[in-house]
Structures are given as structure tokens and as C-alpha cells.
Structure 1
């Protein structure tokens, strides 16, 4: 093979409410770097240089149900984004302080990472990993 994939550039996260989503992701440390109104999207970056794109054309679902996670028929698609964090206990404390519900974990996976899951206001699943 003549090429290699060297890193992950960003994840696109479809949301229903621009202001609510930006405020939520800012609470996790991202800030808007580029507004792309022609695409109904933006680019956000954190201090470590990790990018996400928010896409502002999501259709609101009853009870913020995630069509890839919460429905009995499991459709193909990306189910979550996973991020590496430096200190899981600090992250958990921040979630508790800001009333962000941890929906899974903390769990140890394959003896190499400690994991928790949350959902954004639209039900998108976010995974956070502390590498062991």
C-alpha cells in the first residue's frame, strides 16, 4: 500500500439547535473557530487541536432519541465519537458540577482504557477514554 492514514481530522455531529449545541460543546472545551453558514455547519477546536464540526440541520426526535442507538432496528452508521482525555476523574467531576448525565461507565475496556459515555442535548453519544 502506497499511503497511510496518519491521524483523525474531525467528526461531524448533526444537531438541531445551533446555540444550544455550541454552548454544550464549549462546556467540554471546544470553541468555534470557523462559521460555515453556507453549509449550515461550523468548525470547533479545543486547546489540544482536536476538531469537531457541528452540522445545524438535524430533525428533532421525540425524547432526543438517537436513531442509530435507541431504535429496535439497528441501522448502519456511525454510533458515537470517542475522545482521549488526560484525567477521567477531573472530567467526571466537571460533568457532575454541570449536571451532565453519565450514561455509561466508568468501565475498563481490554485493560487499556477507562471509559465513560454521555449524550449531547440531541442524544448524540460521546465516549471519553483515559488510556491506562
Structure 2
């Protein structure tokens, strides 16, 4: 019997400073809905029901370098979380208004999505995608 994966429940993001991380993710629209002190974590949800967990046991690295992205040796692991946004221009305006730097983009990948990358205060990479309608030539 086969099983199907139809969605994901949440993404866990390890951070070093609970308050700094919470404020950052709140600027992006998430709010803490459950505190999990036993696990040094929380659950955050946005208005559309997308969950993330912040895990508050990260070790601070020099210059907030991401061990999976910024080092010459490429270790296995999850390199980023990718989210879908309804309107990229709305996101770009929100980032600008809140002083959140874009590390790459916006760019169009494979004529299917408009993409922007940014980093949280610990250097964790976040990807936001506006899915594009297929063009007549791409069909």
C-alpha cells in the first residue's frame, strides 16, 4: 500500500535568540500560538494557517554564517525553507518598510515562479515564491 504526502505541517528553524527571532518572524506575519518551554521551542502561525517552529537552542556563529550555505564544505542538511506568497510586490514592500534585506532576487526561475531570498537574524535562508501562471509559449 502506497502513501501520499499532501502537504507539510511545519518547518523547524533553529535560532540563537528567542526575542530577536520572534520579532523578526512577527514582522513577516507569524505570531506565537504555542510556547513549548520543555523543548526550547514554540509554534508560530500566520493568518493563512502556515506554521513554523522556532527552536531556541542554536549556538551563535561568527558573522551569523550559515553552516550549510556559507562554508566551503557543503554538508548535508536542509538549506532553506520555501514559502508561497500571493503577491511578491506586497512582500517586497513589507520587507522595505521593515528594513529587512533581500539576499537575492527577485528573480524568475523556470518561468514558473518569481523568487526572493532573505535571511533571518541567524543567517537561516528563507525563500518566498510567487507562482506564475503558465505563459502560452510555455504550455
1:6 shift after superposition: 1.2
The aligned counterpart of 1:62 is 62
TM-score, structure 2 length as denominator?
0.93
**Any gaps of 5 or more consecutive residues in structure 2?**
133-139
1:15 shift after superposition: 0.1
| Bigger Rg over Cα | 2
**Any gaps of 5 or more consecutive residues in structure 1?**
none
In the TM superposition, 1:1-132 aligns within 5 A as 1-132=1-132
**Separation (CA, whole Å) in 2 of partners of 1:6 and 1:130:** 20
**Separation (CA, whole Å) in 1 of partners of 2:79 and 2:107:** 18
TM-score, structure 1 length as denominator?
0.98
CA deviation string 1:87-130 (max 9, x = no partner): 10111111111110000011101111000000000000000000
1:3 shift after superposition: 1.3
Q: Secondary structure at the match of 2:34?
A: strand
Worse-superposed segment, 53-62 or 86-95: 86-95
